């Protein structure tokens, strides 16, 4: 009796059925592998805060355009009193003129660059410079809870840390003017600073260090 090769007959299949099954297996396109649960996102797809340089006095218009494009945006504003034609007006002005912050991935940055009024995204070697989430939150809290205003860029000086209150942990340089104590918080890569009024009892001195905010 002739022997049947195992490839030609499996579990009672005829030679024709076996060959047909093999043909389907060969011609069927490979299925894409599913991402394993818990796999970290690709860096180009991870959204991070970055700074955007815009045309002067176009900060609010750019922020509106970003919102229309569903781009998360943070434009720090401070309250100021201006005298216009013999009257006083309360206005909101950009804390860092010509700059605002957006949260976006590297792969999506073209959406931001296409917004009218945007000049460029602050970058280093062609990649957007990431702004730590903690720094954005500190700026939000400072604007909501304390009197803040622009201040000439200050990168050096005796560093202090806020030790109590909602801004606890925020670091900067302390200055005193007209019996008022203010902490100067600097965003070094855009060379801008803001002054936040505080009580001297809220501050503690840091050891000498070259680390910047």
Give the sign of the dihedral formed by CA 128, CA 133, CA 135, CA 136: positive
Of 101 and 199, which is predicted with more confidence?
101
66 — pLDDT class (breaks 50, 70, 90): very high
16 against 161, higher pLDDT: 161
Domains recognised in the chain with CATH numbers: 43-131 (3.30.70.940), 133-213 (2.30.30)
pLDDT tops 50 at residue 48: yes
pLDDT score at 43: 62
Q: Which residue has tokens 């815009």?
A: 54
Residues pairing with 183 in the sheet: 174, 196
pTM of the model: 0.64
Got the DSSP string for 123-162? EETTEEPEEPHHHHHHHHHHHHHS-EEEE-----S-EEEE
pLDDT digits (tens, 9 = 90+) for 89-100: 888 999 999 999
Does the structure show a pLDDT above 50 at 7?
no
C-alpha to C-alpha distance for 116 and 52, rounded to whole angstroms:
12
């Amino acid at each position: 009796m002739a022997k049947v090769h195992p490839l030609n007959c499996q579990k009672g299949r005829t030679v024709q059925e076996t060959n047909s099954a093999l043909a389907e297996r060969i011609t069927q396109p490979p299925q894409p592998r599913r991402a394993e649960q818990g796999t970290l996102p690709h860096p180009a797809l991870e959204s991070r805060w970055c700074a955007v340089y815009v045309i002067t006095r176009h900060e609010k218009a750019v922020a509106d355009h970003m919102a229309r494009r569903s781009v998360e945006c943070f434009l720090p504003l401070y309250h100021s009193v201006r005298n216009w034609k013999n009257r006083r007006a309360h206005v909101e002005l950009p804390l860092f003129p010509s700059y605002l912050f957006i949260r976006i991935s590297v792969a999506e940055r073209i959406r931001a660059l296409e917004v009218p009024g945007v000049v460029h995204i602050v970058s280093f070697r062609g990649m957007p410079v990431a702004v730590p989430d903690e720094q954005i939150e500190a700026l939000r809290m400072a604007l909501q809870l304390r009197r803040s205003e622009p201040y000439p860029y200050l990168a050096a000086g005796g560093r202090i840390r806020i030790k109590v209150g909602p801004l606890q942990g925020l670091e900067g340089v302390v200055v005193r003017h007209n019996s008022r104590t203010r902490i100067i918080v600097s965003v070094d890569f855009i060379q801008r600073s803001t002054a936040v009024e505080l009580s001297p009892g809220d501050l503690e001195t840091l050891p000498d260090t070259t680390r910047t905010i």
